Amino acid sequence: MTETSSTAMPGTAGQRIGLIGAGRKGTGIGLSLLRHGSELHIKVNRTGAGAERLTGMGAHEHTSFSELARHVSAVVLSLPSSCEVEEVCLGQHGLFAHLPRQSLVLDCTTSYPASTLTLAEHAKKHALHFIDAPVTRSPQQAEQGRLNAIVGSDESTFPIAARVLSAFCENIVHVGNIGQGHKLKLVYNSMTMGIAAVAAEACQLAIDVDLAILRSLVSRGATNSGVFRNFAAFLLDEKPDALAISIRNANKKDIDCGVRLANETALKVPVLSAAAQKFQTCLAEGKGELTLPHLALSSSDDEPRQK
């Protein structure tokens, strides 16, 4: 494992870099790239809010993937899932068919490892470098250049990728060959969502308990976790925007993919499977678009607890 940090100067000044996926985190990535002097090229975004911020800071906007590809030597992908990554990269109008030879594609999406390996093979046929570099932390930290990247690549490509990642990442960890970054991210996210399911039910169990006192007690022991602290802050109405990922996305991108990965290797994960069922129940109750801390509200609850 190789670890580096953004204390080294990013090598992106003047480099022509594409960004596809100007959502909340992608917009932060783009702003960090611009701040480090990159010539940023983006694809028109469905919602437009992130794209407007980026073009306002000097990014160039394109109407197609093929047009964007002709202007860059590296592309950062920040998309919802592997399905969107495949749509962007493959086909006659996709990135792979139009990027200059030896270009670099960094997939910062939480993607599925099997898809990543297939895409890397397709990229190789076009003389391109495709690596997985999923990131952790929040959109705000993306904008501050303080994400963590988990990189799967060969040894020779990692330093090249790290120079781009350093523009928006505080810590960059090389964890193995292509696909290993996305596999480790799924393990990480599955653990997070498993903890979230347990923390949610613990908060429900503590309905007649002073939650602030419970938080104080938990913070002094080995059970302490950032997930529980955020749930408590939400329920006490201290932090309404805590863990602002939707339950639907957390299910689809994280714990559901983790259980699927385990099933493909015939590994039994009954606890994670039970946690996944918690998410499925919330989806069935119509909570899919609510944020993660709403897992801790029972179906009859409408509002967080007050202090």
User: What's the token pair of residue 206?
Assistant: 């503590």
Confidence bin at 278 (pLDDT 50/70/90) = very high
114/183 Cα distance (integer angstroms):
9
pLDDT for residue 227 is more than 80: yes
Identify which has the larger pLDDT, 224 or 207: 224
User: What's the token pair of residue 259?
Assistant: 């259980």
User: What's the token pair of residue 300?
Assistant: 């009859």
Closest CA to 76 of 160, 155, 199, 165: 165
49/294 Cα distance (integer angstroms):
26
**Amino acid present at 141:** Q
Query: In percent, how much of the chain has pLDDT > 90?
Result: 83
Other beta carbons less than 10 A from residue 154's beta carbon:
13
Across 83-93, average pLDDT: 96
> Is the CB of residue 302 less than 8 Å from the CB of residue 237?
no
45/63 Cα distance (integer angstroms):
9
SS3 106: strand
Confidence bin at 300 (pLDDT 50/70/90) = low
Global pTM value:
0.88
270/219 Cα distance (integer angstroms):
28
| Bridge partners, residue 169, by sequence | 147
pLDDT for residue 82 is more than 60: yes
